Structure 1
Amino acid sequence: MQHTETHSDPLDPARAAAGLITLGRAETVAQGGPLPLFFHHLYFWSPQPPEALGRDGHPRVGQGGLIPDMGLPRRMWAGGRLTFHQPLLAGQDAERRSVLEVSNTKQGRSGPLGFVTLRHDYHQGGRICVTEWQDLVYREDPAPGVPPPVPLVARTDETERRIVRFDSTLLFRYSALTFNGHRIHYDLDYAREVEGYAGLVVHGPLLAQLLMLFAQDLCGPVVRFSFRATAPLTHTETAELCLKDQALWVRGPDGRQCMEAQFRAISQA
């Protein structure tokens, strides 16, 4: 029998309002009105005391939660898939039920890799509103002197494009809104010296959030969305959100692909 974790949240409209301001969006959220797409990530916090955290600021794995300890210190959000059945409503109690669907290790070209897939079902008023799968990857620290993998080159055949910029303030505010303690997003020394990144790392869910809203702005309400992170983007870089048909991607300033995604809108169903 699968172990299940359940969290409830009253979905305070003020937090959604802060999220919209952080993203530079002009919409408002009213009591009882629909939350913006993907904004459930701002809720269902599960705070842990300092002694229960790992070196990276995330809750330590293998301590009775859903994710086992695989002995691999670096955590990355590799991608996810979502089905939006109906909107979650602000200011009304909701529940998230979570299960571990996948947990295994494989030998990659750069060493052992741990793969985890979590499924989250979001319920409100006795009905399911969102189904989400989160794919996480765990790996070893980078070996000294070993260059990072060569990233994929992004497509250049988009029909729509939006320029987005990041800075340390945006990353800090998004971390605070989602209660994400991962130090790669706000601790520059840790990101560079321990995990080997060139700068603060833009959250994978933040890039996915921007792609979803980009698709929604152009095509109307989104009912399905899947994404895969392919290369890190750092806080000093300007990126491009790109769309063609039902495909989306994030292109870095050097032309690398940072994320790819697929979506379906109601108008395309």
Structure 2
Amino acid sequence: MQSTTRLLRPSRRVAQQITCRAFSTSRPCRQQHASAADAAQRMLENHGKSTIVRRQLIDPNQLAKLAFTLGRPNVSGVAVSDDSVLPAGTPVPPGYHLVYFTPGGVEADLGPDGTDRSFNAPAPFSRRMWAGGAMEWKSGEALKVGDEVEERTRLISATPKTSKSTGAGMVLVEVEKELWSPRGLAVVDRRSWIFRPAITEADLREAKPPPFQSSSDTVSTVSDTQGSDGLIRHFNWSPVGLFRFSALTFNGHKIHYNDDWTHRVESYAGLVVHGPLNLINLLNYWQDAHGTATGHVVQNIQYRAVSPIYAGQPYQVRSKGERTTEAGETKWDVVVEKNGKPCMVAEIQ
């Protein structure tokens, strides 16, 4: 079985947003950049030629629980409820595979920020941030409830970078996952993470941004309005909603549920809405706004995280335009934004 992944090119687009000037006049910055280069090289040496293979059953419970968390009444047109089971053969919607093949291991194996360390950069680059990626769905090969699926994961690249704002070294890591169903290759999923240096005592003493103020009784909401360019979907996630998504994806990253860690250590203004959650919502939006009415089916998506969204913060997903390429391909630009500023941008074909 041979995969075709040439359509997936997130690395250059992500790297262009993160690539920074080398600081040749500052000795500390040169040392940090060298450390990032060493960490990247160690990752390539340790993981560059290996493939991790895992197998899992696509069970209906995960899909139903995700639908509940998203506030959606059905999965692929099949109603979800606590007194029924999604039947075998129900297709897994685009992006919903993210609730399968979730991190394993005991708690002692996790990083200090609660993240799975399977492909984490070595110390001191222990703070992970979702940067973007790409997904491709093979025509006619959707994952289905009841499938026994094989996941093949390998390291694509590990690249040293330098922060524009601080001059600190970072490591950009790209991983590719192939999901093989009994019918063949179904999904190719590339993910990009940035790993920043561990927090020091000096960092903890620095002034932090004021916390984002949101009501403690906020309930997650989703609603639609019609704008001049079409459907606009509005979201506001509560801490409970983020916790349920973390639990469903077995994601221990503290920035999604631990206020003290999020603000004091990571210097975020509030609990951070998951990048994968925004990605799934973005794909659902495209299907509802464009796919169902026209019969289009998503083939691939390239996306990039730009800025964080916090629990209790209203934001929107909307289309920015549709175009046809010289090759006859139809593409949409879709954006996740708050207060008119992009938080995640995507191109869907």
TM-score class normalised by the smaller sequence: 0.7 to 0.9
The answer for the alignment partner of 2:106 in structure 1 is 49
In structure 2, the CA distance between the partners of 1:257 and 1:124, relative to structure 1 (3 Å rule), is: same
The answer for the alignment partner of 2:148 in structure 1 is 93
In structure 2, the CA distance between the partners of 1:126 and 1:31, relative to structure 1 (3 Å rule), is: closer
The answer for the alignment partner of 1:161 in structure 2 is 232
CA contact (8 A) 1:88 1:129 kept: yes
Pick the aligned partner of 2:302 from 226, 236, 251: 226
SS of the equivalent of 1:222 reads coil
The answer for the alignment partner of 1:267 in structure 2 is none
SS of the equivalent of 1:78 reads strand
Q: What does 1:1-269 correspond to in 2, within 5 Å?
A: 2-27=49-74, 28=78, 29-60=86-117, 65-85=118-138, 86-109=141-164, 110=166, 111-140=168-197, 141=199, 143=203, 144-145=206-207, 158-220=229-291, 221-244=297-320, 245=322, 246-252=332-338, 254-264=339-349
SS of the equivalent of 2:252 reads coil
| Alpha-carbon offset, residue 71 of structure 1 | 1.8
- Given residue 38 of structure 1, which amino acid in structure 2 is its aligned partner? G
Which structure would you say has the larger Rg? 2
Give me the whole-angstrom Cα distance separating, in 2, the residues matched to 1:59 and 1:225: 25
Give me the whole-angstrom Cα distance separating, in 1, the residues matched to 2:133 and 2:279: 9
Give me the whole-angstrom Cα distance separating, in 2, the residues matched to 1:45 and 1:75: 16
Give me the whole-angstrom Cα distance separating, in 2, the residues matched to 1:170 and 1:224: 27
| Alpha-carbon offset, residue 117 of structure 1 | 0.2
Q: What TM-score, normalized to structure 2?
A: 0.68
The answer for the alignment partner of 1:152 in structure 2 is none
Q: What TM-score, normalized to structure 1?
A: 0.88
Give me the whole-angstrom Cα distance separating, in 2, the residues matched to 1:194 and 1:238: 24
SS of the equivalent of 1:58 reads coil
Give me the whole-angstrom Cα distance separating, in 1, the residues matched to 2:109 and 2:183: 33
Higher helix share: 2
| Alpha-carbon offset, residue 247 of structure 1 | 0.6
- Given residue 281 of structure 2, which amino acid in structure 1 is its aligned partner? L
Give the unaligned 5+ runs of structure 1.
149-155, 265-269
Give me the whole-angstrom Cα distance separating, in 2, the residues matched to 1:251 and 1:222: 21
Q: Cα deviation per residue 1:75-130 (whole Å; 9 max; x = unaligned)?
A: 11100101011310112200110000111212222211110000000001150000
Q: How many corresponding residue pairs? A: 252
- Given residue 223 of structure 1, which amino acid in structure 2 is its aligned partner? Q
The answer for the alignment partner of 2:40 in structure 1 is none
CA contact (8 A) 1:249 1:260 kept: yes
Give me the whole-angstrom Cα distance separating, in 2, the residues matched to 1:66 and 1:195: 20
Give me the whole-angstrom Cα distance separating, in 2, the residues matched to 1:46 and 1:108: 28
| Alpha-carbon offset, residue 158 of structure 1 | 4.5
| Alpha-carbon offset, residue 159 of structure 1 | 3.6
- Given residue 136 of structure 2, which amino acid in structure 1 is its aligned partner? T
Give me the whole-angstrom Cα distance separating, in 1, the residues matched to 2:247 and 2:146: 20
Give the unaligned 5+ runs of structure 2.
1-47, 79-85, 211-226, 292-296, 323-331
Give me the whole-angstrom Cα distance separating, in 2, the residues matched to 1:89 and 1:97: 18
Q: Which moved more, 1:157-166 or 1:241-250?
A: 157-166
Give me the whole-angstrom Cα distance separating, in 2, the residues matched to 1:147 and 1:67: 27
Give me the whole-angstrom Cα distance separating, in 2, the residues matched to 1:131 and 1:66: 17
In structure 2, the CA distance between the partners of 1:196 and 1:158, relative to structure 1 (3 Å rule), is: farther
Give me the whole-angstrom Cα distance separating, in 2, the residues matched to 1:146 and 1:19: 34
| Alpha-carbon offset, residue 147 of structure 1 | 6.9
SS of the equivalent of 2:187 reads strand
In structure 2, the CA distance between the partners of 1:198 and 1:88, relative to structure 1 (3 Å rule), is: same
CA contact (8 A) 1:58 1:180 kept: yes
